[in-house]
A and B are shown apart, each in its own frame.
Chain A
Amino acid sequence: MGNITLGRYIPLDSPIHKMDPRAKILAMLLVLVAIFMPAGWIGYGIIFAAASLTIIIARLSFTFIWKAMKPMLFMLVFLFVINAFLLKTGDPLFTVGSFTLYSDAVFQTLYIAVRLLLMVMITTCLTATTKPLDMTLGIEDLLKPFQKIHVPAHEIAMLISIALRFIPDLIDETERIIKAQESRGVDLKEGKIMERIMAILSLIVPLFVSAFQRAEDLANAMEARGYAPGEQRTRYKVLKMEGRDYILLFGAAALLAGMVWLAYFR
């Protein structure tokens, strides 16, 4: 768990951390759309500058972003190889035997790489600065208008928050079951196919049994405390938009407008 950085919350004290999750989610969506505008290198330069500024204000480190980016590198190399063989437009750069590399293959890959980097930067700005619970509250509020077309906004949010609450418990449980089965001679690393299958079964079945038990207990506890899905309830945590949240939204909207102008009206 320790080395996964993508999507992890980093508890720091920064203006970005304090912002309303709804503003952050909306701003992220706006900027994501902006990234997909064919605005050229100037456009990407502007988005990169804006994202970097946000990262600095959020007091996140660039190595953290780099770590989140790392798992994508393999994909990019793969993409470059495919592009090199398929894209035969632009200027020929060099030739080895019967193979010629064209400039568009390089540019196309770079384009995608830059977009990916920008997306990682922007989403990390959101996930690293927003508590999981606040994130679900934000999603719930943003989905509310869609309740009219029967999107169960509250249920979705409750589902996500309970999943988040129990993930650490389930990880502990998994570790415990692995150890218990290892004590019974299960070897998860070696063995013949049949033995491997049994080894995996010996983990999955108990994990399911305990997850169901947990779910039943939890359902009882929630019901006993008056929870009934679909019924009216009040909410303890109330989100409130402040000046800085509007500034963020305005900034994100301006960025998108700029990209649209760069892409289509210049």
Chain B
Amino acid sequence: MSIIEVKDLTFSYDDTKTTIDHISFAIEEGTYTTIVGHNGSGKSTVAKLLAGLLEKKSGSIMIDGLELNLENLSKIRNRIGIVFQNPDNQFIGSTVRDDIAFGLENHCVPQPEMDGIIEVNAERVHMTKYLDHEPSRLSGGQKQRVAIAGVLAMKPKILIFDEATSMLDPSGKDEIKRVIRNIHKESSLTILSITHDIDEVADSDHVIALEKGRIAMQGTPHEVFSEVEALRKIKLDVPFSLKMQQKLAKRGVQVGKHITMEGLVRELCQSHSNM
């Protein structure tokens, strides 16, 4: 069953421009989906619409069998956790502990249960050592880990990352990507990540590429990346292995389409030694 079903969704910030233009897609429970597209393609808007932070103009959004409307809003919010781009502007508590507690307080979790929940979820993002730290003493990557623990603590079914790594340095990016991958591996959570990171896209189950508020392409990373020309047309990056494959083809060397370097080199090796 699809946990997210979007049908004919439209949205605009003002009347002059349509930001989301009649899009439909479905996301299966337990999958890892990435949404790509250049800045201004509407991808963050989709995330905010799904989390009920923006109000759609027309169309429908079904989350876990519930129609997203004012009536169901708080039920749906319980099912969706979202981690935003800016690590500073989503840290609400004055310490890590207080920040994770914030969502629990909102969901009326009884106070005696909170410490246990906080500790379990801090452990999932390896922040147990920092529970009493203030945000000013944490790195960007650590702050994002706290944000993840904060939403995990609310036991959502869907986790949305809205460019959660784009303001981090390389080690922070790796840190967060590793945490996301581990969460996906050890739980049945559905993950939706809005990203520019080509390695993260290659790692996902399903890719949706947006362009001017419409879905330009979607499929497995292999399917989407194979359309090198179409990707270029919507100004998206192509994995290095596919660029090489094209360049090699021009030089009369035919190899399969690989989305990782390792795959490409493996095939090259076989033709190198076998022939």
The short answer to whether A and B are in direct contact, CB under 8 Å, is yes
Q: Given A168-B136, A217-B89, A221-B92, verify A233-B105 contact (CB < 8 Å).
A: yes
Our count of residue pairs bridging A and B at CB distance below 8 angstroms stands at: 85
> Nearest B residue to A227 by beta-carbon distance?
B106
Q: Given A228-B106, A236-B114, verify A162-B53 contact (CB < 8 Å).
A: no
Residues from chain A with Cβ under 8 Å of B78 in the complex: 226
B111 located at the interface, meaning its Cβ lies under 8 Å from any Cβ of chain A in the complex: yes
The 10 closest A-B pairs by CB, nearest first: A217-B89, A226-B106, A236-B101, A221-B90, A225-B103, A233-B105, A133-B94, A224-B82, A227-B106, A234-B108
Q: Is the CB–CB distance between A220 and B48 below 8 Å? A: yes
Given pairs A213-B89, A217-B90, 9 additional interface contacts (CB within 8 A): A164-B94, A165-B135, A217-B84, A218-B89, A225-B92, A226-B77, A227-B102, A236-B114, A238-B111
Majority secondary structure, A binding face: helix
What is the bound-complex CA distance between A213 and B94, given in angstroms? 20
Report B's interface with A, CB cutoff 8 A.
Answer: 48, 51, 53, 74, 77-78, 80-82, 84, 86, 88-94, 97-98, 101-111, 114, 135-136, 150-151, 154
What is the bound-complex CA distance between A143 and B229, given in angstroms? 64
Q: Is the CB–CB distance between A236 and B150 below 8 Å? A: no
A232 located at the interface, meaning its Cβ lies under 8 Å from any Cβ of chain B in the complex: yes
Residues from chain A with Cβ under 8 Å of B86 in the complex: 217
Number of interface residues of A (CB under 8 A): 30
Q: Is the CB–CB distance between A220 and B105 below 8 Å? A: no
What is the bound-complex CA distance between A161 and B134, given in angstroms? 13
Q: Is the CB–CB distance between B154 and A226 below 8 Å? A: yes
For A168, A224, A227, A237, which residue has the most chain B Cβ atoms within 10 angstroms?
A224
Residues from chain A with Cβ under 8 Å of B107 in the complex: 226, 233
Q: Which of B48, B80, B84, B104 contacts A234 (CB 8 A)?
A: B104
